[in-house]
């Protein structure tokens, strides 16, 4: 409103000097060139393909980081200038990506767009090759380890028999058999990687760069958008603003200014209002925090499996597990929605022959700290235990262990601790003192524990450290069935969430989906709950917590 009033006053004042105004300058012509890539859907199903479904994430790589720097080095241009010149348009309906660049000459615009695409394809092909090489190297190492284990066990058997023909060698024979099974599995994996070869990057050219004229005003607007980091547009069909389309001849001519104090005051008021709205929109674009389900899905190209309502002031400072104490609340229902998504994924894996025997292992992580990861694990463990499922929660965030504060019960190291949640057991430390052990030893012990616990539980939940702060979570991915990425509404930034998703995807375990914690646009269904005559509820409507059980001779959960 203030800008509208100021604009009206300035518009009226301008009428007094309108007659002395200089003639409008002739608009300067600049150029825009767009190179469009299309995801190739015709590649045979048995061909390994590098995952490029998250085009919005690829668009971010084109506007920041290594690719713009490589383009700048190739063209011998300042990196900031190159970043400001690029504009990326993503169309999810036809799976296309347009890389547009502006410049003062048509040849410069086309060359810059071509270079961006060449660098992008080069980076993706190198990453695909690095992943394939890493998989082959790891599989080869597993083959060597298994063969060494067989040789060692056979040496012990031979030595024992040589000393005493009647020696009991059954223990070593069992070890040899286990190692032979490991060798068979490792060789099969190695042959599979070698047969598959390097994944193909499924991007093909739909349209090469061809420069079109744009006005100086459009050119300046594009540079400002690039400088503000607002040079990515994601949409479907006609919802996209059409970056790179040549403006009509009338678009490059400034509109005429009305004569007289009253018309100019009105025009000034409208301009002021437009500036006000523009300022609000601009500040919102600068705010890169993810706030809603649409923000998350358009940025990460991942489904939101659950929208958890915001916690009250008291609950944000406590360690209450709402799914246990208020099982009929909106919060409890949101975590049941997350459970349903994970159950469905498990069934799909089994139908397609990808499922592993034993427990479903779910790794829960986030991009950064204090985003609701441990709260999610505690509540998910509670709803997973409904229906008499056996649930094991493992605290894998050994630098900041907090899960035991939520689940309650004893916290003995190297033991299966019975928690206050029926059906849920907890391992707080996999070594005698996780804080003093080396991270590699702790992670190795965690991996062994998961492998041994698979046949004894229905669900195993891993509460890990944030994926961008340590490498701990990444080291557990190959023993995990599904990954849930926790995003805190209004806290998690789009770029950090995208980096976390990209890192998981590069390590071969893309997130199954997102748990959006603190979502404020969840429909309010507080009236659609149950009557107060439920005998299992206290008068407050909350379910009483069961007293913690202490098992003096609880089974040791040591991974040794």
Share of the chain above pLDDT 70, in %: 79
The mean pLDDT value for 378-396 works out to 93
Summarize the confidence of residues 411-416 as an average pLDDT.
Answer: 90
pLDDT of residue 13: 58
pLDDT score of 421: 93
Q: What is the pLDDT of residue 434?
A: 77
Mean pLDDT of 146-175: 89
Angle at 334 between CA 381 and CA 469, to 5 degrees: 60
pLDDT for 352 beyond 70:
yes
50-63 pLDDT tens trace: 888 888 889 888 88
The yes-or-no verdict on residue 531 having pLDDT over 50 is no
* Residue among 474, 462, 469, 501 at smallest CA distance from 485: 501
Confidence class of residue 169 from pLDDT cuts 50, 70 and 90?
A: confident
Residue with tokens 């979502």: 519
Q: Is residue 530 predicted with pLDDT exceeding 80? A: no
Helices 261-286/2-14 angle, 10° precision: 140
What percent of the chain stands above pLDDT 90?
42
Least confident window among 10-24, 133-147, 174-188:
10-24
pLDDT, position 16: 53
pLDDT band at residue 245 using 50, 70 and 90 as cut-offs: very low
**DSSP 8-class letter at 211:** E
User: Whole-number mean pLDDT of the chain?
Assistant: 81
429-449 average pLDDT score: 87
End-to-end alpha carbon distance in the chain = 69
527 DSSP assignment = T
Give the count of beta carbons closer than 10 Å to the beta carbon of residue 163.
8
- Average pLDDT on 271-298 reads 69
Confidence class of residue 12 from pLDDT cuts 50, 70 and 90? low
- For the residues 13-22, what does the mean pLDDT come to? 52
User: How confident is the model over 511-528, as a mean pLDDT?
Assistant: 75
Crossing angle of the two packed helices 66-75 and 55-63, in degrees rounded to 10: 50
Q: Is the dihedral of CA 423, 424, 430, 436 positive or negative?
A: negative
Q: Classify domain 28-248 at the CATH topology level.
A: Bacterial polysaccharide co-polymerase-like (3.30.1890)
Question: Mean of the pLDDT values across residues 119-140?
Answer: 92
Residue-range domain boundaries for the chain: 28-248, 293-517
* Per-residue pLDDT tens over the stretch 331-346: 999 999 999 999 999 9
SS3 410: coil
* Contact present, 235 and 90 (Cβ < 8 Å): yes
Q: What does each C-alpha distance from 157 to 145, 152, 175 come to in angstroms?
A: 18, 9, 11
Both tokens of 73, joined, read: 């080095």
Between 553 and 520, whose confidence is greater?
A: 520
425 phi-psi bin (left φ>0, alpha ψ -120 to 50, beta other): beta
Average pLDDT over residues 116-125: 92
Whether the predicted pLDDT of 284 surpasses 80: no
Task: Identify the CATH number of the domain defined by range 293-517.
Answer: 3.40.50.300
Q: Break the chain down into helix, strand, coil percent, rounded to 5.
A: 45, 15, 40
Local confidence band at 144 (pLDDT 50, 70, 90 cut-offs): very high
Reduced to 3 states (helix: H, G, I; strand: E, B; else coil), residue 417 is strand
Q: Among 40-54, 81-95, 119-133, 252-266, whose mean pLDDT is lowest?
A: 252-266
Among 106-120, 144-158, 280-294, where is mean pLDDT lowest? 280-294
Confidence of residue 557 (pLDDT cuts 50, 70, 90): very low
Query: Which one-letter DSSP state was computed for residue 360?
Result: E
Categorize the per-residue pLDDT at 399 as very low, low, confident or very high, splitting at 50, 70 and 90: confident
pLDDT of residue 65: 87
- The per-residue pLDDT for 9 is 61
Confidence of residue 103 (pLDDT cuts 50, 70, 90): very high
Average pLDDT on 453-460 reads: 94
Confidence of residue 193 (pLDDT cuts 50, 70, 90): confident
Q: What is the pLDDT of residue 242?
A: 40
How high is the pLDDT of residue 353? 86
Rounded to an integer, the average pLDDT of 381-396 is 93
Beta pairing, strands 29-39 & 203-207? antiparallel
pLDDT given at position 373: 93
**Rounded distance, CA 308 to CA 310, Å?**
7
pLDDT at 93: 80
Pick the closest to residue 319 from 473, 492, 551, 545 (CA basis).
545
Least confident of 152-156, 363-367, 431-435, 513-517: 431-435
């Amino acid at each position: 409103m203030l800008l509208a009033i100021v604009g009206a006053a300035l518009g009226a004042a301008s009428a007094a000097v309108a007659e002395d105004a200089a003639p409008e300058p002739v608009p300067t012509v600049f150029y825009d060139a767009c190179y469009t890539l299309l995801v190739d859907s015709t590649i045979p199903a048995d061909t390994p393909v590098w995952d490029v479904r998250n085009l919005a994430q690829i668009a971010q790589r084109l506007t920041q980081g290594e690719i713009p720097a490589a383009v700048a080095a190739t063209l011998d241009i300042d990196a900031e200038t190159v970043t400001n010149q690029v504009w990326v348009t993503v169309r999810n309906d036809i799976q296309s990506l347009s890389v547009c660049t502006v410049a003062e000459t048509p040849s410069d615009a086309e060359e810059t767009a071509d270079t961006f695409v060449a660098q992008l394809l080069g980076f993706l092909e190198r990453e695909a090759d690095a992943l394939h090489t890493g998989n082959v190297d790891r599989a080869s190492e597993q083959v060597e380890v298994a063969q060494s284990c067989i040789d060692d066990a056979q040496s012990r058997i031979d030595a024992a028999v040589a000393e005493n023909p009647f020696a009991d060698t059954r223990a070593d024979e069992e070890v040899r058999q286990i190692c032979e099974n490991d060798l068979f599995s490792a060789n099969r994996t190695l042959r599979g990687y070698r047969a598959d070869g390097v994944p193909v990057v499924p991007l093909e050219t739909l349209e090469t760069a061809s420069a079109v004229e744009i006005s100086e005003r459009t050119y300046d607007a594009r540079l400002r958008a690039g400088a503000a980091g607002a040079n990515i547009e994601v949409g479907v069909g006609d919802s996209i603003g059409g970056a790179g389309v040549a403006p009509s001849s009338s678009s490059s001519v400034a509109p005429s200014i009305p004569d007289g104090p009253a018309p100019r005051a009105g025009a000034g008021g409208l301009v002021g209002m437009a500036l006000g709205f523009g300022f609000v929109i601009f500040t919102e674009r600068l705010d890169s925090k993810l706030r809603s389900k649409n923000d998350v899905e358009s940025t990460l190209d991942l489904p939101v499996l659950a929208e958890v309502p915001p916690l009250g002031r008291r609950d944000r400072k406590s360690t209450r597990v709402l799914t246990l104490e208020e099982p009929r609340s909106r919060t409890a229902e949101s975590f049941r929605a997350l459970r349903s998504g994970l159950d469905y994924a498990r069934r799909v894996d089994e139908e397609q022959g990808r499922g592993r025997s034993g427990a479903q292992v779910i790794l829960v992580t986030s991009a950064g700290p204090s985003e609701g990861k441990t709260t999610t694990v505690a509540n998910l463990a509670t709803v997973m235990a409904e229906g008499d499922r056996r649930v094991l929660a493992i605290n894998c965030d050994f630098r900041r262990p907090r899960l035991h504060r939520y689940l309650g019960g004893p916290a003995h190291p190297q033991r299966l601790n019975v928690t206050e949640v029926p059906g849920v057991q907890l391992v707080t430390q996999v070594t005698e003192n996780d804080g003093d052990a080396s991270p590699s030893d702790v992670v190795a012990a965690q991996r062994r524990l998961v492998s041994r616990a698979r046949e004894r539980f229905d669900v195993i939940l891993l509460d890990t450290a944030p994926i961008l702060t340590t490498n701990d979570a990444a080291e557990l991915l190959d023993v995990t069935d599904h990954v849930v990425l926790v995003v805190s509404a209004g806290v998690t930034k789009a770029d950090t969430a995208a980096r976390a998703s990209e890192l998981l995807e590069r390590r071969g375990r893309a997130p199954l989906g997102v748990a959006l914690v603190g979502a404020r646009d969840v429909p309010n269904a507080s009236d659609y709950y149950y009557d107060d005559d439920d005998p299992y509820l206290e008068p407050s409507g909350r379910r009483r917590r069961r007293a913690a059980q202490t098992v003096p001779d609880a089974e040791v959960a040591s991974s040794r």
